[in-house]
């Protein structure tokens, strides 16, 4: 009986609250609706806050209250995880109320919505680059903001996506055995992201891929490509991207390149001597 009484009270409260809400939504005065919307918003009840705020947009002549309505309206979309609409409304708020007390906060939230719109790193990263741009614009505009530390954290997280996307893309060529494309992709990654955490691996893979590309080449092109691999070894030694493990492997690759080039040179000499002998024989026979 006690449990049944509790359930009855809960149901009655819900019905009463529902009736009160409908009464406020349909017949409430604008000021009462605004306060009600704020109360529901602060409770996290965005589904009830949103219709009240939608009804209030354009209803207030006083600028301050109009700002409040639109500010909470944008934030309510954010609370509902509708980051596309929230981003749109925070941006529109900043354009409409350029002197608002909420301007800095709305500008930050617009940038943060763009962060939330960034796709997983495996997918197209146009939205990630856009988010970095928007956050950086906020930092430039409000350099003393309390949100600067969070902005830096968001940018670092977004850049790590770009790093992983670029690195994995280059590694895909490497794992497929397309070493020529791998060299190009690894070099482009270093140009685009000189602060990438995998810089030591990338620098090594440039050397290794260049060597493997030469090794897979037809004999007529191997001399030129082994020399190119040696040039990559020299560049690796001159860089600050060395690790003990990779340095030993680069030295091994350099040694093998020189051995193979010596073999190529020796074979070319043998072929040249044979051609010369054949030419002499052919001349004597005539």
Confidence of residue 84 (pLDDT cuts 50, 70, 90): very high
C-beta separation of 161 from 153 below 8 A: no
* Domains contained in the chain, CATH given: 1-117 (1.25.40.10), 177-286 (1.25.40.10)
For 103-129, the pLDDT digits (tens) are 999 999 999 999 999 999 999 999 999
**The Cα angle at residue 93 between residues 92 and 96, in degrees rounded to 5:** 85
Give the pLDDT confidence score for residue 281 in this predicted structure.
63
The least confident of 11-20, 150-159, 277-286 is: 11-20
Q: Is the pLDDT confidence value at 6 over 60?
A: no
Q: Is the pLDDT confidence value at 9 over 50?
A: no
Rounded-to-integer distance, Cα 27 and Cα 118, Å:
41
Q: Region 198-214: what's the mean pLDDT?
A: 96
For 13-66, the pLDDT digits (tens) are 444 455 788 888 887 788 889 999 999 999 999 999 999 999 999 888 778 889
Q: Region 228-249: what's the mean pLDDT?
A: 93
Q: Region 79-105: what's the mean pLDDT?
A: 97
Give the pLDDT confidence score for residue 10 in this predicted structure.
45
Rounded-to-integer distance, Cα 243 and Cα 247, Å:
6
C-beta separation of 134 from 147 below 8 A: no
Written as six digits, the tokens of 106 are 């709305």
Query: DSSP secondary structure string, 177-228?
Result: T-HHHHHHHHHHHHHH-TT-TTHHHHHHHHHHHHHHHHHHS-HHHHHHHHHH
For 180-190, the pLDDT digits (tens) are 999 999 999 99
């Amino acid at each position: 009986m006690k449990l049944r009484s509790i359930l009855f009270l809960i149901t009655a409260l819900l019905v009463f609250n529902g009736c009160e809400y409908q009464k406020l939504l349909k017949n409430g005065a604008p000021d009462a609706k605004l306060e009600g919307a704020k109360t529901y918003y602060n409770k996290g009840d965005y589904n009830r806050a949103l219709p009240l705020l939608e009804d209030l947009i354009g209803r207030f002549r006083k600028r301050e209250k109009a700002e409040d309505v639109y500010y909470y309206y944008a934030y309510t979309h954010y609370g509902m995880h509708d980051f596309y609409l929230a981003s749109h409304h925070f941006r529109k708020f900043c354009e409409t109320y350029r002197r608002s007390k909420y301007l800095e906060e709305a500008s930050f939230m617009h940038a943060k919505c763009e962060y939330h719109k960034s796709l997983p790193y495996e997918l197209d990263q146009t939205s990630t680059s856009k988010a970095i741009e928007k956050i950086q614009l906020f930092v430039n505009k409000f350099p003393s903001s309390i949100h600067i530390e969070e902005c830096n954290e968001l940018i670092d997280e977004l850049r790590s996506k770009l790093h992983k996307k670029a690195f994995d893309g280059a590694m895909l060529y490497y794992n497929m055995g397309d070493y020529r494309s791998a060299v190009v992709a690894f070099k482009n990654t270093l140009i685009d992201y000189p602060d990438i955490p995998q810089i030591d691996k990338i620098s090594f893979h440039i050397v290794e891929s260049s060597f493997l590309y030469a090794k897979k080449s037809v004999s007529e092109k191997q001399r030129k490509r082994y020399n190119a691999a040696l040039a990559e070894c020299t560049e690796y030694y001159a860089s600050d991207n060395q690790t003990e493990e990779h340095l030993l492997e680069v030295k091994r690759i350099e040694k093998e390149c020189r051995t193979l080039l010596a073999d190529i040179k020796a074979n070319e000499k043998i072929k040249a001597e044979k051609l010369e002998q054949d030419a002499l024989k052919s001349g004597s026979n005539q």
